[in-house]
């Protein structure tokens, strides 16, 4: 069994896009894949990320997301306004149960590694405690070098197993898009595994079968 933690350099960079596309590719290969979002904010009235993945994988929403909050804030801040209820120990317990049910489990964070889930306990802390290999989703445009480097630096400060990057939203209009992946690889010594174009309906996009196989091999999966 393999699990993967999907984080981002910021909010809105495409963590759910990649999680969806990877889950779809694994499902197509006949792999029993699960998805779990420990906390989703901005769920008014429904959690959009968890709903999308639950429909793809035929999971119930209860299986797919554990805590939801209406306000689009960091989890630790959202519960300050909506009532404290996140229990880190519960997340640990749920994860241990889930890894027994799937061949491949995708765990998606909110925002980036330094986003607090409760108090000062971050997603980086959660990935470290659960010992989940981590991949970072970054935006292809100008500014991603700094965000990507700082995310890798923070991840290493937590002793995370960093697998590399996914670059999302290639439009072909930003001159920096051409060189950003190579520069980030050189600066972080981490591989950019996937490059995903900007699409209005990205749900119809499919990750390269060869890239997926190469990535799974890097994870020592099958």
In the sheet with 33-40, reading across from the earlier edge strand, the strands are: 65-68, 33-40, 104-112, 2-8, 134-139, 162-170, 191-197
Asked if 4 and 15 touch (Cβ cutoff 8 Å), the reply is: no
Which member of 15, 24, 37, 141 is catalytic? 37
If DSSP codes are grouped into helix, strand and coil, which group holds residue 193?
Answer: strand
- At 56, is the secondary structure helix, strand, or coil? helix
55-to-49, 52, 58, 165, 203 alpha-carbon distances in Å: 10, 5, 5, 26, 12
Look at residue 36 and give its three-state secondary structure: strand
Q: Is 28 a catalytic residue?
A: no
Radius of gyration of the chain (CA): 16
Beta bridge partners of 167: 138, 195
Phi, psi of 138 (to 5 degrees): -125, 155
Annotated catalytic residues are 37
């Amino acid at each position: 069994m393999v699990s993967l933690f999907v984080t981002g350099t910021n909010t809105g960079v495409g963590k759910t896009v990649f999680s969806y596309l990877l889950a779809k590719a694994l499902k197509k290969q006949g792999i029993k894949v699960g998805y779990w979002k420990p906390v989703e904010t901005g769920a008014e009235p429904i959690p959009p990320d968890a709903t999308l993945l639950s429909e793809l994988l035929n999971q119930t929403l209860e299986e797919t997301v554990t805590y939801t909050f209406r306000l689009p804030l960091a989890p630790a801040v959202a519960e300050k306004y909506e009532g404290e209820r996140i229990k880190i120990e519960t997340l640990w317990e749920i994860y241990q149960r889930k890894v027994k049910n799937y061949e491949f489990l995708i765990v998606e964070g909110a925002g980036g590694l330094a986003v607090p889930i409760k108090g000062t306990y971050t997603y980086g802390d959660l990935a470290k405690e659960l010992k989940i290999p981590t991949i970072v989703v970054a935006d292809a445009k100008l500014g991603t070098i700094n965000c990507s480097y700082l995310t890798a630096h923070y991840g290493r400060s937590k002793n995370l197993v960093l697998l590399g990057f996914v670059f999302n939203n290639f439009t072909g209009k930003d001159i920096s898009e051409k060189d950003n992946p190579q520069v980030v690889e050189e600066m972080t010594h981490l591989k950019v595994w996937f490059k995903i174009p900007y699409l209005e309906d990205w749900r119809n996009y499919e990750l390269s079968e060869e890239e997926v196989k190469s990535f799974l091999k890097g994870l020592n999966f099958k």
